[in-house]
Structure 1
Amino acid sequence: MKNQDKKTIANRLKGMPESDLDGVIAETSKLIEKGFLPQDVFPKGIINPDTAKIKFVLEPAKHKELIDYINENQNNPFYREFRVFPLGIIVRDLYETHITLERGGWASGG
Structure 2
Amino acid sequence: MLAIAVLGFNEFMTLFKNPLYRFIRFIVYLLAKALWTQLDISGEFRNGTVAVNTVLQDEKEFLNHIIKLTNMKCLTPVSTLDGDCGFLAANLYAKSVLMLWSI
User: TM-score over 0.5 for the alignment?
Assistant: no
**Greater relative CO (CA pairs within 8 A, separation 6+):** 1
More helix by share: 2
Q: Which has the higher strand share?
A: 1
Structure with greater Cα Rg: 2
